[in-house]
Amino acid sequence: MFDMTNINVNSSSSESRHVKTLILGSGPAGLAAALYAARADLEPLVLTGTELGGQAALTFAIENYPGFPEGVGGAELGDLFQKQAERFGARVEFDSAYSADLSSRPFKVTADSGDFQADSLIIATGASPIHLNIPGETQQTGKGVSYCATCDGWFFKDKKVVVVGGGDSALEEGLFLTRYASSVTIFHRRDSLRAGAVLQKRALAHPKMKFVWNTVLTEVVGDEKVEAVKTKNLQTGEESVFPTDGLFIFIGHTPNTKMFEGQLEMENGYIKVDERMNTSVEGVYAAGEAADSHFRQVVTSAGMGAAAAIEVTHFLERETA
């Protein structure tokens, strides 16, 4: 898990705090932005959000971030990002923003700890997992339904689990679950996978992994814990009950941008940015999965965060010139 010992917890204050650069989110985009902003003497403040290190910190092993030929743990990488940013003066506080007023400068942001006035703002609030929205799913979340294999896989030692999805996440997390579970059955709504070739090859060849094609889940069954899932074959219409101890859902993500609705231009909930990470409001930048529905990699998010901070530097220089 992400190392909490280095995180400052801001005590509640009624006073509005003024900052040159406020960064929302502590995933790769937010912490890379903090590193660059700190090195430019912008004294950035990062409000971590509830997921320290972002989604990357929930990933067991990241094998495609350059510079780590043997791979690196997601939480460990987040911790390294943070230490590097702090070395140059960035402040990281465990706090979550829940509303913003971007109509004038300084921008006003309200967080759990109080209000902030920011000369510039970098939004790196990331994305959250999409739910299936089937009966039983919400009730059984935490009792066998999960959206994070790294967090919950351990609970399924020698048990049967079901995974939903056909993308990189479903296969990567499914492969991770084979460390614990006795079997991992992937239910996919089509008969071909969306995931990349390397993951497909590994997953299809894994002795613990099974695939059920053209099939969706219609209900999670169980009282105190998950006991089975109801399924429907989309080609034959046949309905079945599949016994399982756990259900892991990896069907994509939705960006955490609700508080900016009506204030920033968006497309399908993703904040629109140009090639320099400018949003539709001057002085507000966005980076990572809050603004990227396409690449969604640790390295691309970190790159966007760095670019946003470089642009903030130019913006604040122009403002004070």
Q: Is 223 a known active-site residue?
A: no
Buried b / exposed e over 213-250, threshold 16 CB at 10 Å, is bebebebbbbeeebbbbbbbeeeeeeeeebebbbbbbb
Q: Do residues 195 and 279 touch, judged by C-beta distance below 8 A?
A: no
Nearer to ligand NAP, 165 or 283 (CB): 165
Amino acid identity of residue 129, one-letter, is: P
Query: Is residue 167 at the binding interface for ligand NAP, with CB under 6 A as the rule?
Result: yes
Q: Do residues 4 and 89 touch, judged by C-beta distance below 8 A?
A: no
Binding mask 279-298 for ligand NAP (x = CB under 6 A): -----------------x--
Query: Is residue 246 at the binding interface for ligand NAP, with CB under 6 A as the rule?
Result: no
Quick one: which segment of 29-37, 144-152, 187-195, 270-278 binds ligand NAP (CB under 6 A)?
A: 187-195
Rounded CA-CA distance 76/53 in Å is 9
Query: Is residue 225 at the binding interface for ligand NAP, with CB under 6 A as the rule?
Result: no
Nearer to ligand NAP, 212 or 216 (CB): 216
Quick one: which segment of 70-78, 235-243, 244-252, 303-311 binds ligand NAP (CB under 6 A)?
A: 244-252
Nearer to ligand NAP, 114 or 129 (CB): 129
Q: How far apart are CB 134 and ligand NAP at their closest, in Å?
A: 9
Q: Choose the catalytic residue: 41, 101, 112, 151.
A: 151
**Member of 7, 105, 148, 252 binding ligand NAP (CB under 6 A):** 252
Q: What is the DSSP string of 100-144?
A: EE-SSSSEEEEETTEEEEEEEEEE---EEEPP---TTTTTTBTTT
Binding mask 36-65 for ligand NAP (x = CB under 6 A): ----------------------------x-
Q: Which residues touch 93 (CB under 8 Å, ≥6 apart)?
A: 7, 8, 9, 10, 45, 46, 47, 48, 113
Q: How far apart are CB 268 and ligand NAP at their closest, in Å?
A: 12
Q: Choose the catalytic residue: 79, 152, 168, 292.
A: 152
Query: Is residue 212 at the binding interface for ligand NAP, with CB under 6 A as the rule?
Result: no
Query: Is residue 169 at the binding interface for ligand NAP, with CB under 6 A as the rule?
Result: yes
Which contacts of 137-143 are long-range, i.e. CB under 8 A and separated by 24 or more positions?
Answer: 137/220, 137/247, 137/249, 139/220, 140/220, 140/222, 140/225, 140/226, 140/247, 143/222, 143/224, 143/225, 143/226
Active-site positions?
148, 151-152
Would you tell me which residues interact with ligand NAP (CB under 6 A)?
Answer: 64, 132, 164-170, 172, 189-190, 194, 216, 250-253, 296
